[in-house]
Amino acid sequence: MSTTDFEVELILHNIEKCGLYEATEQGSRQIVHKSDVPKCLGIEELLIEVEQWAIASGQPLANTCPDIIPDEKKIYCYNITKLQDTFLAAFWVALPRGRAGVSTLPGNRPVKGEIPKNPRGNLDVHDIPGFMAYFLFLPKLNRLATVQLWFKGFGKPYVSTPKLKSYLEAYMNGHSLYRCKDGGFSEKKSSDPTQVLNASLVSKVDWNRRYGDSELDTVKKYASDIYKVTYQIKQPDLIPKTANRQLWQAKESVAGYMNHSGDFDKKRQIRMVVPVAGMLKSEVEELEQNFEQFTKEQAFNVGFQISGHGREYWLSGSYSKEGDTINLKTQKGNREFPDQDAFHKELLSRFGSFLRSS
> Do residue 237 and residue 328 come from a single domain?
no
> Do residue 294 and residue 325 come from a single domain?
no
pLDDT confidence tier of residue 330, bands split at 50, 70 and 90: confident
> Do residue 170 and residue 22 come from a single domain?
yes
> Do residue 123 and residue 203 come from a single domain?
yes
> Do residue 229 and residue 151 come from a single domain?
no
Give the pLDDT confidence score for residue 146 in this predicted structure: 93
Q: Which residue has the higher pLDDT, 223 or 3?
A: 223
When mean pLDDT is compared across 51-60, 89-98, 254-263, the lowest value belongs to 254-263
> Do residue 147 and residue 54 come from a single domain?
yes
Question: Average pLDDT for residues 219-238, to the nearest whole number?
Answer: 88
Whether 210 shows a pLDDT value over 50: the answer reads: yes
pLDDT confidence tier of residue 98, bands split at 50, 70 and 90: low
> Do residue 225 and residue 342 come from a single domain?
no
pLDDT digits over 15-71, tens only? 989 988 877 666 556 565 656 678 788 899 999 999 999 999 999 999 999 988 988
> Do residue 48 and residue 81 come from a single domain?
yes
**Confidence (pTM):** 0.73
Instruction: Count the domains in the chain.
Output: 2
> Do residue 246 and residue 288 come from a single domain?
yes
> Do residue 123 and residue 82 come from a single domain?
yes
pLDDT digits over 164-203, tens only? 999 999 999 888 887 765 456 666 665 544 443 434 677 8
Domain that holds residue 343: 3-210+320-355
Question: Average pLDDT for residues 302-327, to the nearest whole number?
Answer: 86
Mean pLDDT of the chain: 82
Give the pLDDT confidence score for residue 1 in this predicted structure: 61
Instruction: Map the chain to HEC letters.
Output: CCEEEEEEEEEEEEEEEEEEEEEEEECCEEEECCCCCCCECCHHHHHHHHHHHHHHCCCCHHHCCCCCCCHHHCEEEEEEEEECCEEEEEEEEECCCCCCCCEEEECCCCCCCCCCECCCCCCCCCEEEEEEEEEEEEHHHCEEEEEEEECCCCCCCCCCHHHHHHHHHHHHHHCCCCECCCCCEECCCCCCCCCECCCEEEEEEEEEECECCCHHHHHHHCHHHEEEEEEEECCHHHCCCCCCHHHHHHHHHHHHHHHHCCCCCCCCCEEEEEECCCCCHHHHHHHHHHHHHHHHHCCEEEEEEECCCCCEEEHHHHECEEEEEEEEEECCCCCCCECHHHHHHHHHHHHHHHHCCC
> Do residue 233 and residue 285 come from a single domain?
yes
> Do residue 160 and residue 280 come from a single domain?
no
